[in-house]
Homo-oligomer: A and B are copies of this chain.
């Protein structure tokens, strides 16, 4: 999707006229609106735009007058228009233009065949340019008439409703007054609505025979709260006197009070939209309690007002600092969603397939009870996850609502399994083995799975329940991938290791063969033995594989996490005498139940379905959320092995996992997740990320010898950009990129960490964006974690988009 800005100015009321079908009178009714608006607001120019017109310029089109405009180049979009037409006859004083005219009276995608049709981006750019030319400091109207019905294909083949989504113009829907027209009008409305269009008015011809307007008036009022306005039909065509009859018709209809009321309604809604956008931030400042925000330090101007979102972009109100100085400047701009909306986005904003999946499940089920019941989306999702993760241990899927609740479930599962296995009484204090700086969510149970930190230190009931291991991290510094071993890990491994390519860091087999894991092993064993000797009891190993997210976007040496898992599993009696009888097959847990929190790192965020695959070890419990629904709605799954599951089996009801949420396995979430996983699996199979994989290989000169995506580490962020950033060592502490994540650690003069403000400058410069004040201006909305600035794309973010954003980032870093 192009990063085009919606057509929104304070002074120009832009509306799109869609038809419930072809030949329903779009042009006639548009002309009536144009005439009426120039009557009611004589000081405010009215314009009509037909972006694409097909069919000869004849009677049927009510005599458009052609008016040639030479091809020109406007901004970044080439204006390949060759003909533009004007309606002049019936609407004096109204400017009329056609941008692309085709002779054949068929769908534009056919008419345009062999004529190099404009791309959607070109077409939208041309429209944007045209509209912006209509903007004056005074007020005005612009009606844009689409071609055919709502889903008639445009020149590129995209249907009207898909093509024009980025413009976000309010819609006048022309209903169909003919036999069957009720059906077409209702369906057209629905097709627009599920694409986020605001249909402000339904306008149609009266017809006594079928009474469509009568039915639709009641229907739209009851079902959608939208007013239907019926206008008399044009007079029958009289060859000798058509012009006069039409003029009289136009005169009467455009002076009628129903038409005037439509325009007043449109005017009112436009004003309301602009006012709502402009007041949203200050209202929110008063009424919303924001997550993770010190609101005393938050000014209304810091709050981003969002109009909508599409693809990789949020459509945001320009901040006051760059706000329109007068009503003729555009109000909105595209903002690259640089945090992937808190790490959730996978398939782009407002992805139609996900919308359809959600709507289908809503239409088939709504929400239904899950305890003791089953429905298709939940079962299908469970099967897809079990298959996709390729972890032979996992056999069971538990549903909850988000990563935090899913991790609570995981911890409950693991602790019980360990307690039963080791024969500890229910009141034994059982803790977890975790990593320093880990984060697993905000509910109190999983807060206790994190060492004391900024997120929890002031929370009244917080009580860290674990031992927190140190670990080596990986960053690119001055073009080299460096593994930094922390000082606390004083087991003779103190020196840093360097690699030319990130691939080599992930080549665990070779590194193990070289014995790189030995010092890790010693450190882990010594630490755990010491703690157990002190009498502590541990019931789970809980880690975020590969990357610690909220803890500061730390790329952990995968060899360390692999070694940790192996040590925990393979050291007999490390955590206690193994007293209770249990299965000893290879799928059953040993040592401790291993919990992988893949809420952030799994499902392709790092480029692979399972983050555990980077480590070459299989967890006993695996938690998946965020990208699970492609970034649409909350849903979480906690997968577990049969040996965990069996720890809850008993003849006593109260031994069960007595955990559940009302919306457990809600069908909409499950159906959307099924669709998301299907799409992501298809994209991988189809090679949609081949451009990114090839970038990595090209940089490595092909010398890594890894050719399959599955065994490769890759990122959408170009290696040369990562390398360039890593060289800015005056400002940069280090950088890494993997999958769709890029993390840049700034050199902090304030000590770093979550409280640091070191990355805020870069974030603010990204928010400033490309500058300028026209429709081509865009910016980047990003988040910082203390001294770390990160950028995150979706899996649909294109090579071009990444390049543009990376370019802006490099400029911001140089500033």
Partner of A210, one of B107, B292, B379, B659: B107
| Docked complex Cα distance between A460 and B341 (Å) | 34
Q: A180 to B662, Cβ gap below 8 A?
A: no
Known A151-B183, A633-B666, A656-B294: A196·B442 in contact at CB below 8 Å:
no
Tier of interface size on chain A = 35 or more
Question: Quick check: which of A27-35, A186-194, A497-505, A804-812 contacts chain B, the rest being far away?
Answer: A186-194
Q: Is A221 an interface residue (CB 8 A)?
A: no
For A337, the closest partner residue in chain B by CB is B369
Contact check, A184 vs B182: say whether CB atoms are below 8 A apart: no
Instruction: Map CB proximity to B onto A663-684 as digits: 1 under 8 Å, 0 otherwise.
Output: 1101011000000000000000
Asked if B401 and A314 make an inter-chain contact with CB atoms under 8 angstroms apart, the answer reads: no
A89 at the interface (CB under 8 A from B): no
**Given known contacts A151-B186, A190-B187, A654-B755, is B23 in contact with A180 (CB within 8 Å)?**
yes
- Closest B residue to A284 by beta carbon equals B374
Does chain B have a CB within 8 A of A652? yes
The residue from B150, B296, B662 contacting A343, defined by CB atoms under 8 A apart: B662
Once the chains bind, are A396 and B308 in contact (CB under 8 Å)? no
**Cα distance A754–B461 when bound, in Å?**
28
- The listed residue (B150, B366, B370, B654) touching A348 by CB distance below 8 A is B366
Q: With A107-B182, A193-B360 in contact, do A658 and B367 touch (Cβ < 8 Å)?
A: no
Q: How many Å from the CB of A618 to the closest CB on chain B?
A: 17
Copies in the complex: 2
Best-buried of A157, A386, A632 by chain B (most CB within 10 Å): A632
With A280-B374, A374-B280, A656-B294 known to touch, is A365 a contact of B350 (CB < 8 Å)? yes
A404–B661 CB distance below 8 A? yes
The verdict on A341 contacting B367 (CB below 8 Å), with A23-B180, A374-B303 known, is: yes
Complexed CA–CA distance, A193 and B382 (Å)? 23
Q: Which one of B341, B372, B651, B668 contacts A296 once the chains associate, using CB atoms below 8 Å?
A: B651
User: Does A53 touch B at the CB level, under 8 Å?
Assistant: no
Interface of chain A residues 325 through 358 with chain B (CB within 8 A):
337, 339, 341-345, 348-356, 358
Answer yes or no: A800 CB below 8 A from chain B CBs. Answer: no
Q: Closest Cβ of chain B: how far from A313's Cβ, in Å?
A: 10
B residues within 8 A CB of A368?
306, 309, 314, 337, 341, 349
* Segment at the interface with B among A408-416, A577-585, A689-697, A772-780: A408-416
Counting chain B CB atoms within 10 Å of each CB, the highest count among A283, A339, A456, A459 belongs to A459
Q: Let me know if A22 is at the binding interface, CB within 8 A.
A: yes
CB pair A379–B288 under 8 Å, yes or no, is yes
Question: A278-312 CB contact bits vs B (8 Å, 1 = yes)?
Answer: 00110110111111111111100011111011000
**Apart from A152-B180, A456-B658: 5 A-B pairs, beta carbons within 8 A:** A186-B191, A280-B379, A314-B369, A426-B458, A633-B668
Closest A-B pairs by Cβ, 7 of them: A291-B660, A444-B445, A149-B183, A196-B364, A22-B180, A196-B363, A151-B183
Pairs A–B under 8 Å by Cβ, sample size 25: A106-B179, A107-B182, A149-B183, A159-B186, A165-B363, A187-B191, A193-B359, A195-B363, A281-B374, A287-B395, A289-B657, A296-B649, A296-B650, A304-B369, A306-B373, A350-B363, A402-B405, A405-B442, A415-B460, A415-B461, A416-B458, A442-B658, A442-B659, A443-B444, A445-B445
